Amino acid sequence: MKIVLRVSWCGLLFLSFLVFPSYALVLEGVSGSWYNPAGGDLSTVRYTTASVAYGSGTENRIFYGAGGYQSGLGFTGVDVPYVCSVGDIFELGQLRCLNAPTLLGTAISGVDMRLVMTFADPEGATANFGFSFSILNTPNINSGNQNDDFLYFPASFTAQTLMVNGKLYVLELLGFGPDASNLISELRTSENSWSSTSLWGRVACAPVKPVPEPAMLILFGSGFLVLAGAWRKPKQ
């Protein structure tokens, strides 16, 4: 009788995986655009694109500051298509920072970025993220690394969701860093140079509680019947 009960509950678990299987998402594109610069001399701000030897090959850039040179930021989405399953941690793109000598007070102190993920499967699905960076431009009155600029990353990110085949998929941004296990809170850039780091994400899944199918109700019922039979007292 114990064997019958074990088979019944294992069958129920197996059926739940058949009815609500996991689903692999196919990432079709990742882009990051800059907006809402703050501080400094906003008349110096300009937006450009450039060809780079990473990922999608197109870097969206923002430059700022006056004085003959400009500092700037750039983001390039990862090479696609990319298949991401539940639990996968993957690179979304590369962020770069340029530290150039600019006139004091003309460089911006912050900027927002909009990250857009598009999917080929489920077709037409998108996820949009928005977050802010803070920028510290040091005055070039010292020497060596005392002239380094700093880009500060958000402490947390708001997750986005996709509903696919009755399951709620959660798209999370883990943060920036050289790898997903070594995330950083800031990016430091030496004078007259570029620095770079990567943005990492993860797919999680939160199943939606479904209305039981008839087959599942029958299986539940049979489980209770077997359980009742197991505890029925023998006739005297």
Q: Which H, E and C letters describe 94-151, residue by residue?
A: EEEEEECCCCCCCCCCEEEEEEEEEEEECCCCEEEEEEEEEEECCCCCCCHHHHCEEE
Asked if residues 97 and 16 have their Cβ atoms less than 8 Å apart, the reply is: no
pLDDT at 225: 40
Buried b (16+ CB within 10 A) or exposed e, 208-221: eeeeeeeeeeebee
Note the pLDDT of residue 61.
Answer: 98
pLDDT, average across residues 135-140: 88
On whether residue 218 sits in a domain, the answer given is no
pLDDT top residue among 97 and 211: 97
Beta-bridge partners for 29: 118
Q: Which of 35, 53, 8 minimizes the C-alpha distance to 230?
A: 8
Structural domain contains residue 220: no
pLDDT digits (tens, 9 = 90+) for 23-58: 689 999 999 999 999 999 999 999 999 999 999 999
CA distance 132 to 128: 14
The number of folded domains in the chain is 1
Say if 60 falls within a structural domain. Answer: yes
Residue type, 58: T
Domain membership of residue 169 (yes or no) is yes
Domain-located, residue 79: yes
pLDDT at 21: 55
| Dist CA 191 CA 98 (whole Å) | 8
Q: How far apart (Å, rounded) are the C-alpha atoms in residues 48 and 59?
A: 8
pLDDT at residue 140 in the model: 75
Reported as a single tens digit per residue, the pLDDT across 212-226 is 555 444 444 444 344
Q: Would residue 161 count as lying in a domain? A: yes
pLDDT for residue 235? 53
- Banded pLDDT at 139 (limits 50, 70, 90): confident
**What length is written for the chain?**
236
Residue numbers of the domain that contains 96: 25-207
Residue 25 identity (one-letter amino acid): L
| Confidence (pTM) | 0.78
